[in-house]
């Protein structure tokens, strides 16, 4: 590893060293606000350095890419970390969650996600995945006075461990079959191979697919999602729902765009996964009476839709998927930020009974929530619509008509439950109680998210142009 390698890794180094420094500082000074501010500054510095410093080498130590695609996601995840810290600022002070630990774990997670999105090597992929998953294991259970959070942490830990096992075995099998861990290389050699080894290699890819399925909660590996989302503190859920899933999808897109079609033999399987996931999410959400669980099922549906874009394996599909990831991250983070901003001594508003009539008590934030929910549903003029449209368009061009139909069906069903929440918010209810007014930080995040949803909905070309340039 040379100096130019280190320079190319600058954003990651800033995030990681900043996180370590804040962790250490937090052990000596318990004052949360300076630590949070330091964390936000570190995250913004990471984003800035990824945007401004041109990496001198295209690849870092043969493990991670330093190209435009990697830098794009590094910026996105750094900003996400900053947003996560801002959303969590009031929350962790009130719940007495260790500020040093929270800030540093969020930054470590962001570093892991950024590495994951830029992995070009199976070992790099594994390390990066573990980096942010480990951070999330702790973050989810960080509210130590809450039994639900402990349950959620344990569930995520156990399933995460299983997924890690699948990942490691899959990587081992691919290495055994192709003799390489470098991604384009491994795929090429696997394709050239026609004997028994190819079967082992495919089994390896299948296992990686299962691991990915656990991480981004594809049906039938999605059952942990609602419980974990419900138990975890809302700011953490916001990160978990967006970053941890988006980074895995980003890694998939990056790998496939680099190495060409791998999944010719697995296409049917992925097709089935995508269809199942969209339907499982949509139907699962229908019966929910808890907003966090509903958002969990909604994220399952969205992961299914994203998988459609990945499945296309065309540049159109990859661009659409990338756009979708950005939009989903912004929207979903905003929705959880609303929940976090309302949380007070009683906890977070979760059940529909608690939400009924809240639109009259907190009109601005409920209005934002409605906007975000409609974007998640895919209402025209919001970013969600453009994202869904792009993915379905790509699917149409690649000839996945059946999947397209299922996707549209799932979207229609989703409209039902998103509208149900919207109506609930503005039902007159005398008994509706007031929740917390929210802090400046939280309102900033909400403002940024809602305006991003509107801007991307009206002018999607801005982002699409950038994405087309950076796709590997």
Partner 1 sequence: MLDSYLPILTLIIIAVGFSFGAAILSRLVGEKKPSTVKLAPYECGMPPVGSARERFSIKFYIIAMLFIVFDIEVVFMYPWAVMFKSLGLFGFIEMGVFILILLVGYAYVWKKGALEWE
- The distance of closest approach from Cβ of residue 414 to partner 1 in the complex, given in angstroms and rounded to an integer, is 43
Smallest separation, CB 27 to partner 1 (Å) = 4
CA R_g for the chain? 21
Q: Applying CB under 8 A, does 329 fall inside the site for partner 1? A: no
Question: Is residue 19 near partner 1 by the rule CB under 8 A?
Answer: no
How would you label 420-453 residue by residue, b for 16+ Cβ within 10 Å and e otherwise?
bbbebbbeebeebeebbebbebbbebbebbbebb
Q: Where are the alpha helices (DSSP H) in 232-314?
A: 234-239, 245-259, 267-286, 291-312
Q: Which residues are CB-contacts of 357 (< 8 A; sequence separation ≥ 6)?
A: 425, 426, 427, 428, 429, 430, 431, 432
Q: Which stretch binds partner 1 (CB under 8 A): 16-24, 181-189, 195-203, 285-293?
A: 16-24
Structure-block tokens of residue 278: 């969209």
Rounded distance between C-alpha atoms, residue 231 and residue 297, angstroms: 14
By CB under 8 A, which span of 5-13, 24-32, 271-279, 307-315 interacts with partner 1?
Answer: 24-32
Min CB(28)–partner 1 separation in Å: 7
Sign (positive or negative) of CA dihedral 59, 204, 135, 139:
positive
In order, the DSSP letters of 321-377 are: HHHHHHHHHHHHHHHHHHHHHH-BTTB---BHHHHTTHHHHSHHHHHHHHHHHHHHH
CA distances from 69 to 107, 124, 254, 255, 454 (A): 20, 16, 8, 11, 24
| Dihedral class, residue 379 (left if φ above 0, else alpha if ψ from -120 to 50, else beta) | beta
Stretch that binds partner 1, among 22-30, 35-43, 134-142, 219-227 (CB under 8 A): 22-30
Q: Is 161 in the site for partner 1 (CB under 8 A)?
A: no
Minimum distance from residue 35 beta carbon to partner 1 (Å): 14
Span near partner 1 by CB under 8 A; candidates 17-25, 30-38, 146-154, 223-231: 17-25
Nearer to partner 1, 29 or 459 (CB): 29
Q: Hey, which residues between 28 and 67 contact partner 1 (CB under 8 A)?
A: 28
243: DSSP letter: I
Stretch that binds partner 1, among 18-26, 266-274, 370-378, 426-434 (CB under 8 A): 18-26
Give 96 or 346: the residue with its C-beta nearer to partner 1. Answer: 96
Judged by CB, which is closer to partner 1: 6, or 172? 6
From candidates 2, 24, 286, 462, binder to partner 1 by CB under 8 A: 24
Question: Whole-number minimum distance, CB 23 to partner 1, in Å?
Answer: 6
Is residue 2 a contact point for partner 1 (CB under 8 A)? no
Contact pick of 2, 20, 264, 437 for partner 1 (by CB under 8 A): 20
Q: Least distance from C-beta 134 to partner 1, angstroms? A: 12
Q: What are the residues binding partner 1 (CB under 8 A)?
A: 20, 23-24, 27-28
């Amino acid at each position: 590893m040379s100096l130019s390698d280190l320079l190319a890794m600058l954003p990651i180094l800033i995030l990681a060293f900043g996180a370590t420094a804040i962790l250490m500082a937090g052990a000596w000074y318990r004052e949360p606000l300076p630590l949070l501010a330091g964390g936000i500054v570190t995250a913004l510095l990471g984003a800035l350095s990824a945007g401004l410093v041109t990496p001198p080498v295209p690849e870092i130590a043969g493990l991670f890419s330093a190209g435009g695609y990697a830098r794009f996601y590094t910026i996105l995840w750094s900003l996400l970390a900053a947003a996560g810290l801002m959303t969590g600022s009031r929350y962790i002070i009130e719940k007495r969650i260790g500020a040093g630990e929270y800030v540093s774990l969020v930054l470590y997670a962001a570093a892991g996600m950024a590495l994951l999105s830029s992995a070009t090597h199976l070992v790099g992929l594994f390390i990066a995945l573990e980096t942010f998953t480990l951070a999330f294991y702790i973050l989810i259970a960080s509210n130590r006075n809450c039994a639900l959070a402990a349950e959620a942490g344990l569930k995520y830990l156990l399933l995460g461990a299983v997924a890690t096992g699948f990942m490691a075995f899959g990587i081992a099998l691919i290495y055994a079959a192709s003799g390489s861990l470098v991604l384009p290389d491994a795929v090429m050699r696997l394709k050239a191979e026609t004997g028994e080894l190819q079967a082992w290699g495919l089994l390896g890819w299948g296992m990686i697919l299962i691991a990915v399925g656990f991480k981004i909660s594809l049906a039938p590996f999605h059952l942990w999602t609602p419980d974990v989302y419900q138990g975890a503190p809302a700011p953490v859920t916001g990160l978990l729902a967006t970053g941890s899933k988006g980074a895995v999808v980003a890694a998939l897109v990056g790998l496939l765009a680099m190495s060409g079609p791998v999944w010719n033999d697995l296409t049917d399987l992925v097709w089935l996964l995508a269809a199942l996931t969209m339907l499982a999410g949509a139907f699962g959400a229908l019966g929910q009476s808890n907003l966090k669980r509903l958002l969990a099922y909604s994220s399952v549906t969205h992961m299914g839709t994203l998988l459609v874009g990945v499945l296309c394996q065309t540049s159109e599909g990859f661009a659409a998927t990338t756009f979708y990831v950005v939009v989903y991250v912004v929207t979903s983070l905003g929705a959880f930020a609303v929940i976090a901003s309302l949380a007070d001594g009683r906890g977070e508003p979760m059940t529909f009974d608690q939400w009924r009539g809240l639109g009259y008590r907190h009109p601005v934030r409920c209005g934002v929530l409605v906007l975000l929910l409609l974007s998640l549903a895919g209402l025209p003029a919001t970013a969600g619509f453009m994202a869904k449209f792009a993915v379905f368009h790509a699917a149409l061009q690649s000839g996945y008509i059946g999947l397209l139909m299922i996707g549209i069906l799932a979207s229609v069903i989703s409209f039902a439950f998103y509208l149900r929440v919207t109506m609930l918010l503005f039902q007159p209810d005398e008994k509706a109680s007031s929740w917390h007014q929210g802090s400046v930080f939280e309102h900033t995040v909400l403002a940024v998210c809602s305006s991003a949803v509107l801007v991307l909905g009206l002018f999607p070309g801005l982002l699409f142009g950038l994405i087309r340039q950076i796709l590997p």
